[in-house]
Amino acid sequence: MRQAPVAPSVWWQNRRDARKKHMSKTIHAKIVIIGSGPAGYTAAIYAARAMLDPVMIQGIQPGGQLTVTTDVENYPGFADVVQGPWLMEQMEKQAAHVGTRLVSDHVSSVDLARRPFRLVCESGDIYIAGSLVIATGAQARWLDLSSEQTFRGYGVSACATCDGFFYKGKEVLVIGGGNTAVEEALFLTNFASKVTVVHRRDAFRAERILQERLFRNPKIKVVWNSVLADVRGSENPRKVVGAAIRNLKTGAVTEIPADGIFIAIGHAPATELFAGQVDMKPNGYIRTAPYSTATSVPGVFAAGDVADDVYRQAVTAAGMGCMAALEAERFLAAQHVDSAAAE
């Protein structure tokens, strides 16, 4: 059975402890893949089968966003609903089975100015890579209210799958109107007595099938044209007690009692590590060439949510991972031909 994801703070502490005992080493690889979601694993499977001996640095949350999802109904190949963590476990096993070297570490800096590329990990290990696939995915976005910050972990969450269990028989709010918000609201009805979805427009962005499920669920109420203005909470113990909700049409502010607030307003690409080194779009996603995963740096490819601000699906991420591996393979082969010609 899969272990529950480790809280990031615990992960960092474990890593720091491990680092004290660790003799850092330098590892050379033809291809390094950063990130272990569907894009990363698919790139690894293709690269391994192309005999490139890929190294995958898995990051803090191996398996990525799907490890904090429950039902997956739209990944082709499964007639029955499958669980996100299970699906990722299969991808990991498949990547390992074909020969990927999986490394539980976190990349802390990269130097893409010259080839081979140089990556330094949190453990102190250094990777020298002939090519690189960036598949670092995306992370949940926050509203950036100061009260949201104050109560994060004390009733404000961005992951219903992780925290929903704590709201048995309680009332919760979900902020957002996309697939994540609707799925989280539906999931939370397994525990909560009442789920109120607060959405800034008068229509959801989520898929119709999910919307229909939501509208049929008697535990869910929707507050349209409204935003979270403030999290109301108490100290000693620190906890959420409600929310101030502002109607964008009338400006009226309503107080809603709640024990938990789930922020589900989309995701932001995890690209900080590459800032200033590869071209990015104004919204922070890595820019790739049309119909390609090639970035502005030859030999560096980007796949999945880190580069895709349009589709953002597990299956499209997997497809991009495949493209990245094939493009990296061609790139490395061309390098080999060039250096052979120079000799």
- Indicate which residues carry an active-site annotation: 159, 162-163
Taking a C-beta distance cutoff of 8 angstroms, is the pair 49, 141 a contact?
no
Tell me the window of 215-223, 247-255, 263-271, 278-286 that interacts with ligand NAP (CB under 6 A). 263-271
Which of 33, 132, 243, 265 touches ligand NAP by CB under 6 A? Answer: 265
Beta bridge partners of 57: 34, 103
* Closest to ligand NAP by CB, 116 or 176: 176
201 binds ligand NAP (CB under 6 A): yes
176 binds ligand NAP (CB under 6 A): yes
Provide the strand spans (E) within 69-170: 71-72, 82-83, 101-103, 107-111, 117-121, 126-134, 138-140, 156-157
How many chain residues are in contact with ligand NAP, going by CB under 6 A? 18
DSSP string, 156-217: EES-HHHHGGGGTT-EEEEE--SHHHHHHHHHHTTT-SEEEEE-SSSS--S-HHHHHHHHH-
Which of 105, 163, 183, 327 touches ligand NAP by CB under 6 A? Answer: 183
In the complex, minimum distance from the CB of residue 104 to ligand NAP, in angstroms, rounded to a whole number: 26
In the complex, minimum distance from the CB of residue 302 to ligand NAP, in angstroms, rounded to a whole number: 17
In the complex, minimum distance from the CB of residue 304 to ligand NAP, in angstroms, rounded to a whole number: 11
* Closest to ligand NAP by CB, 72 or 110: 72
In the complex, minimum distance from the CB of residue 59 to ligand NAP, in angstroms, rounded to a whole number: 19
189 binds ligand NAP (CB under 6 A): no
In the complex, minimum distance from the CB of residue 195 to ligand NAP, in angstroms, rounded to a whole number: 16
Taking a C-beta distance cutoff of 8 angstroms, is the pair 185, 197 a contact?
yes
Task: Please state, in angstroms and rounded to a whole number, the distance separating the CA atoms of residues 39 and 136.
Answer: 9
Taking a C-beta distance cutoff of 8 angstroms, is the pair 259, 172 a contact?
yes
213 binds ligand NAP (CB under 6 A): no
Cα–Cα nearest to 77, from 94, 100, 97: 94
Which of 60, 98, 227, 326 touches ligand NAP by CB under 6 A? Answer: 227
Taking a C-beta distance cutoff of 8 angstroms, is the pair 128, 117 a contact?
yes
Pattern 62-91, binding to ligand NAP, x per CB under 6 A?
------------x-----------------
312 binds ligand NAP (CB under 6 A): yes
In the complex, minimum distance from the CB of residue 36 to ligand NAP, in angstroms, rounded to a whole number: 18
Cα–Cα nearest to 273, from 154, 111, 62, 74: 111
Which residues in 106-165 contact ligand NAP (CB under 6 A)? 143
Taking a C-beta distance cutoff of 8 angstroms, is the pair 143, 152 a contact?
no
What torsion do the CA atoms of 167, 172, 177, 183 make, to the nearest 10 degrees? Answer: 20
Structure tokens at 237: 């113990």
284 binds ligand NAP (CB under 6 A): no
Fill in the DSSP letter of residue 294: B
Which of 58, 70, 161, 180 touches ligand NAP by CB under 6 A? Answer: 180
186 binds ligand NAP (CB under 6 A): no
Taking a C-beta distance cutoff of 8 angstroms, is the pair 64, 71 a contact?
no
Give me the residues that bind ligand NAP (CB under 6 A), please. Answer: 74, 143, 175-181, 183, 200-201, 205, 227, 265-267, 312
